[in-house]
Each structure stands twice: as C-alpha cells, then as structure tokens.
Amino acid sequence: MVIFLVCRIPQAYKWATSYTATKERPLLDMSQGVPGIPPPPILLEALGKCAANPRTCGYCPMTGEPLLKASLVREMKVTYGKDSDLCPDDVALTAGCNMAFITAVMSLADAGDEVILPVPWYFNHEMTLQMLGITPVPLQTTPQEGFSPSPEICAKLVTPRTKAIALVSPNNPTGATYPPSLISAFAFLARRHGIALIMDETYRDFILSGVPHYLFVPGSLQGQSGLPANWTWREHFIHLFSFSKSYCIPGHRLGAIVASSEVLKQVETVLDCIQICPPRHAQLVLHPLLSELRPFIRETAESVAHRHELFKSHLPSTWKIGSQGGYYAFVRHPFKGVSTRDVSRRMAMEAGIVTLPAGFFMPQQPGTKDGATGVDDRWIRFSVANVDDEKVKRVCSRLKELEAEFGWELDI
C-alpha cells in the first residue's frame, strides 16, 4: 500500500513565493525550527579538517563511535544529574532524531499496533507511524492546560495494541515544557501498562533551569520525583536526542537513542538495514569537544529565551500566546471565524511572514483540507530560533498592520 503524505514545510514556503520581498520589507521566516546561527568556529574548523581525513570516509560501528557515546553520557549526567544511571552501552547514535524515532518505533511496534501521541503532534512522528502502518492515537491537549497532556486521559486510550506513548518536551509545535512531575506520571503509567514511554528531547538544552526530568535516576536515590523507590528507567523508557539544535549542525545528521540493551538489540538490526552507521566525521569531531561546547549551548539557549521574551512583549495584544518554550511559540490569531490556514497563507503571501498553522500538527477531519481541523482552528506556530531579535520585532509590527489590511473582523 502506498500512503500519500504531504510534507508540511514546503507547503508554507510555496505560499511565500507569492510575496514580493524588498530591501525594506524582507521575507520574515518564522516557519522552520532550524538554528539561526552557525556552529562556533572551533567546531566548524574541526569539521573541515576532519572531513579531509580519508580515515573518516569509512563505516564506523553500527550504533556509532564509542568515544562519542561516552562523551554524550558525560554530558547527560550534567543535564539529568550526577546520579543518573547511564553508561555508553545504553546509547545508539543515529543520523538525526527523526532517524532515532523511526528506529525506536520499528523496534517496538508492528503494523496494526498503536502509539499514543499528544495533539498537536510533531508531524514527522505522525507521518512515520502512518508509513509503518502503526496507528497514531491522538491524545488531545488544550490551551487551558498550557497544551500539556493528561496522564488520566491517556490511560483511557491504552488498548491491548498500544506499544508506546511518545512525548516531545519542550514540545514541537506548542513549545510547552512538561514539568518533571508530569513526565514521572507518564513513566509510571507506561510501567503500569507494560508499554514504552518514548521521549523526544530534541530541545532539552533550551530548558534554562532545573532538570528536564528525573527518569534516569534510580528510584532509590530520588526524593520527590513522584517515581516509586524501585523505579529503574531501562524497563520502560526510551530517550531520543538530536545534535541538530544544541550544536547547530542539522545538516550533519546526528541523533541518539538511549534505551535498554534489550531494546538496543532490535535497534541495531533496524539501523543495520536503514542506516548502516551514523555519519562518521561529525562524531569524531564532536567527542572531544562536547564539554567545551557547553557554554556555547548555554549562550544560545539564553539568546533564544531572550527572543521569546521580546516576542511576548512586542506581540499585539490581540494575538494570544498559549504556550512558549524551546524553539516555538504557539499563538492564537485574533480573526473571528477565519481558519488558521487562511491566516497563515495570507500572512506568507501578503505580509511576508512565514509560519505554520496548527492544522499541520493535527489529525485531519475527513473531507477537509490540511489545516481545517474544526477544533478551535485559531493556533499558529512561530519559530523564534531562526530569526534575529530585530526580525522578531518586525514580525510583531507587521502583525499589527495586517489586522487592518486583511479586513477580517477582530474577535476582541
């Protein structure tokens, strides 16, 4: 069976081709979640040198270079706490986090099985499941709850076919960052039902205070995490990471799966077929640099957080932020009875602001076009990562102007 799935970002760029950019009014792209700055010179220079070394042209071990696994584990102990029970053998390196996700689900589920995803969802997760014949089961989140999923509602969606719950925190598209207590509740739920909790933590380095969660710390060493004393993460937890955002190297394609040896056995078979090995030279370059790059990551995260603040303070009061974090702000447009797809489309075509409508991140209602979800169809994803502070301010003033120009009734 051939499944026809539409890639979402090219659709938004297609709208933008109708916009005539000028020097005074350039295109303002807040659609794609890509780093707005290059990697630091030390990393760029090392990548260049290493690429010229013939030794880096061959395959490496299927699950990646052991030295980078060891460095990643050292960094994870800084991020998740020194008591984290992690070792290099828990890691498989992949060609990016999307590769990590497809590998993880292929290792856990067969066609006909189910994986629960909070909605709005990261569209590549949903598309991956569809391509594999695995049913994505929507777990609706609401603006009232800051787009955080409910473990109680999730529990009702578990069936004998459920193989995993997959969360993204900080979230794409909503930016919602789930508190450790909520993540503990989902881990506990997964354990109760004997299923996996997969967490895509692509944006974890953009959390400026506190740990992302306590799942890597054995229950016996935990204080108030909400996890039982006999908690050990390997039974039910699978962590996914991307080097794309933290190290600003999306084109070098590096990600990671952290899982039990049992899961990693399956992972290795899948990777052998779909990847053979992760891109080699970026691994060789990164392993001695990870700890040195920590201040760069911190500074980048601080500047993204500052841009979020700018966006919030300059946004016209008629546009409401529902949640914000990582790379994204999820914003409710002010136009009464107008679909979010139409608003995003006209913003790109007429005002030169490229964004993604929430409908791109939701199940489609039968018989409607992409973006017409019918459920409070007013939300738009803005990425604050790939624009500078000045552009964020320009976006906000254009939003104010277009309220009058579009001629739609305002819902205020």
Ligand X SMILES: Cc1ncc(COP(=O)(O)O)c(C=O)c1O
List of residues contacting ligand X (CB under 6 A) = 33, 96-98, 122, 168, 172, 200, 202, 242, 244, 250, 255
Amino acid at 87: C
In angstroms, give the least distance from the CB of 352 to ligand X: 23
Which of residues 113 and 200 has its CB atom nearest to ligand X in the complex?
200
Instruction: Find the residue with minimal CB distance to ligand X.
Output: 96
CB of 247 to ligand X, least distance (A): 10
> Distance between CA atoms of 131 and 127, rounded to whole angstroms?
6
Task: Dig out the tokens for 273 from the structure.
Answer: 């077929």
Three-state SS at 197: strand
Q: Nearer to ligand X by C-beta: 79 or 368?
A: 79
Shortest Å distance, C-beta 275 to ligand X: 12
User: How many other β-carbons are positioned within 10 Å of the β-carbon of residue 291?
Assistant: 11
CA distance 398 to 408: 15
Q: Distance (Å, rounded) from C-alpha 44 to C-alpha 33? A: 21
How far apart are CB 120 and ligand X at their closest, in Å? 12
Alpha-carbon distance 397 to 181, whole Å? 38
191 or 204: CB nearest ligand X: 204
Contact 361, 173 (CB under 8 A): yes
Tell me how far, at minimum, the Cβ of 383 lies from ligand X, in Å.
Answer: 9
Q: Residue 335 CB, nearest distance to ligand X (Å)?
A: 27
Query: With respect to ligand X, which residue has the nearer C-beta, 242 or 344?
Result: 242
Tokens of 350: 């007429």
Q: Which is nearer to ligand X, 252 or 378 (CB)?
A: 252
Q: Which amino acid is at 393?
A: K
Q: Of 191 and 252, which CB lies nearer to ligand X in the complex structure?
A: 252
* Contact (CB, 8 A) for 278 and 328: no
Nearer to ligand X, 39 or 96 (CB): 96
Residue 126 or 200 having the CB closest to ligand X: 200
CA-to-CA dists, residue 11 to 5, 345, 369, angstroms: 12, 10, 13
C-alpha 284/C-alpha 250 separation (Å) is 16
Non-local (6+) Cβ contacts of 176 within 8 A are: 141, 146, 147, 148, 169, 170, 323, 325, 330
For the bound state, the minimum distance from the C-beta of residue 259 to ligand X, rounded and expressed in Å, comes to 16
DSSP letter string, 98-136 = HHHHHHHHHHH--TT-EEEEEES--HHHHHHHHHHTPEE
Residue whose CB is less far from ligand X, 16 or 93: 93
Q: Residue 98 Cβ, how far from ligand X at the closest point, in Å?
A: 4
Q: How far apart are CA 163 and CA 195, in angstroms?
A: 5
Tokens of 78: 């800084």
Q: From the CB of 240, what's the least distance to ligand X, in Å? A: 7
